[in-house]
Structure 1
Amino acid sequence: MTTAANVDESELAKFSALAHRWWDLTGEFAPLHAINPLRLEWIDGICPLAGQRILDVGCGGGILADAMARKGAEVLGIDLAEKSLKVAKLHALEAQTPRLTYRCIAAEALAAEQPGRFDAVTCMEMLEHVPDPASIVRACATLVKPGGWVFFSTINRNPKSFLMAIVGAEYLLNLVPRGTHEYARLLRPSELGRFCRKAGLELQRSSGLEYNPLTRRYRLSADTGVNYMIATRRPAE
């Protein structure tokens, strides 16, 4: 079950080099801070977080994990970028965020160690950065309890997403650093849906995330052509 090799060292190096910027609201991770309230409320509206045991896979500097803990969840954030985890831990300490812990461990390894332990699992903006996203989906499905929720977000792969998420966001608007995303690794909803079905997860809902360059604001929408989120559920036994 364990596939510790499911990591791209160049991707780890990329995020490690920016680790000290995770909580800079005007820095390279500003878009994540901007969309965090939207994705947090979407998740909480489907699976109320208070009192739940939540796993955040690929937590980075802890932007979503911290917010979920502040909603009343008991949160474990995992990542393989140790520098990012150090920043996440320091921020949790400084902000005195309750019920929040972090571990440097692969999702597949944790799935072998703690199957069916979590009420919900989140894996946001991470699948497009690993060599084998299907392996991550399987691990998430193993980690969640029967009847529990698994949430994913990623970027669609089509001409529109290439123009908006790569050319626009990285080269024209400078929303994220150049080279953040590799077009070939982006995932169509049909591909992610297939991974989920093979892992035993049932698709329940989806939502797009749109950016308006004029207002510089994000909003939830029905358009999954670029950024999108899906909510899946492991069937109750």
Structure 2
Amino acid sequence: MAESVGAVDNAVFDERLANFQNWQETPWGQLRYSVVAANLDRHLGDGPLRVLDVAGGNGKEGVRLALAGHRVTVFDVAPVSLEGARRLAEERGVSDLVDVREGDAHDVPKLFEGQEFDLLLCHNLLQYVPDRAEVFRGLATLLKPGGLLSVVCPNTYAVPLEAAVRELDLEAALRAVDARTKANVVYGKDIDVLDVAEIAGLYRESGLEVVGTHGVMNVCNLIADNEIKHDPRFFARLEELEIALAARQPYPSTARMFHLIGRRPS
């Protein structure tokens, strides 16, 4: 399914920025970033990379990579979010390694025509765009030989499990078995949930080899009582467990998000 039925109007990303930032600061929001970073670091070699972070928002992931010495372009459709990326880069002392550009993900091939990147991030973007296949193919054209494309998406197979185990709502779980959207409380509307096989197919169609299939939040979102997640000792153990499970099948198949990493053959 290439067409998104849960596409979000671009303005909502800045309108709901405070909601997103609040989520980022929760223990489970921070876990999402630490697990994705651990997954990605398994595949990065030595030496500085040229990175394009599409839908990079307020720069949390892009600045982390800049702190590791990589040169990063944070690209997003939301100008207020991008201003946050500029401030974060300045605060962390890497503004010389972070460029910020505004635009729509569908226009990436035109906006970056003639440029090539060692690493492209496409994290939590494809569920929001009108035509994810077009966006994916456009990103793939900017990869250097040997370059990596990292994609994170919400996993359709996690939704029934969360409803049944976390919420104890079996009726909702049964409805979710065939659902292809779920409510997103941060942005206040339903968004698409995706099938890893669909996105893996886009890698193959674009001439890329999938070199990593990971899960993000394999167990965190099955834990019903969020209060315990504010205990630093508990959460440190949870993070250790999540990173250990992230690349071990079958756990990624039902994680809240799947994380695919593909390489352009060199």
Structure 2 length as normaliser, TM-score? 0.72
After superposition, the C-alpha distances for 1:175-195 in whole angstroms (9 at most, x for unaligned) are x73555635x21101111111
Could you tell me which residue of structure 1 aligns to residue 37 of structure 2? Answer: 40
Call closer, same or farther: CA 1:105–1:162 in 2, change over 3 Å.
Answer: farther
Question: Aligned-pair distance for 1:20?
Answer: 4.4
Q: Secondary structure at the match of 2:37?
A: helix
Please tell me the residue identity of whatever aligns with 2:83: K
Largest Rg, 1 or 2 = 2
Question: Aligned-pair distance for 1:150?
Answer: 0.5
After superposition, the C-alpha distances for 1:211-234 in whole angstroms (9 at most, x for unaligned) are 432553451323222311011011
Q: Secondary structure at the match of 2:10?
A: helix
2:185 aligned residue (153, 159, 177): 177
> Is the CA contact (8 Å cut-off) linking 1:19 and 1:61 kept in structure 2?
no
Measured in 2, the distance between the counterparts of 1:62 and 1:96 equals: 13
Question: Aligned-pair distance for 1:168?
Answer: 5.6
Question: Is residue 28 of structure 2 the alignment partner of residue 28 of structure 1?
Answer: no
Moved over 6 A (4+): none
After superposition, the C-alpha distances for 1:95-118 in whole angstroms (9 at most, x for unaligned) are 322411110023343323334510
> Is the CA contact (8 Å cut-off) linking 2:13 and 2:187 kept in structure 1?
no
Question: Aligned-pair distance for 1:94?
Answer: 2.5
Could you tell me which residue of structure 2 aligns to residue 59 of structure 1? Answer: 56
Unpaired segments of 5 or more residues in structure 1?
1-5, 170-175
Could you tell me which residue of structure 2 aligns to residue 104 of structure 1? Answer: 102
After superposition, the C-alpha distances for 1:138-157 in whole angstroms (9 at most, x for unaligned) are 12211111111111011121
Please tell me the residue identity of whatever aligns with 1:177: V
**Number of residue pairs the alignment of both structures matches:** 220
Please tell me the residue identity of whatever aligns with 1:122: L
Call closer, same or farther: CA 1:10–1:141 in 2, change over 3 Å.
Answer: closer
Q: Secondary structure at the match of 2:62?
A: helix
Please tell me the residue identity of whatever aligns with 1:128: Q
Structure with the bigger RCO (C-alpha within 8 Å, sep 6+) is: 2
Structure 1 length as normaliser, TM-score? 0.80
Question: Is residue 73 of structure 2 the alignment partner of residue 76 of structure 1?
Answer: yes
Measured in 1, the distance between the counterparts of 2:151 and 2:69 equals: 21
After superposition, the C-alpha distances for 1:29-80 in whole angstroms (9 at most, x for unaligned) are 2344322122112212201364111111110111111111111111111010
Question: Is residue 221 of structure 2 the alignment partner of residue 191 of structure 1?
Answer: no
Does 186-195 or 8-17 show the bigger shift? 8-17
Unpaired segments of 5 or more residues in structure 2?
168-183, 230-237
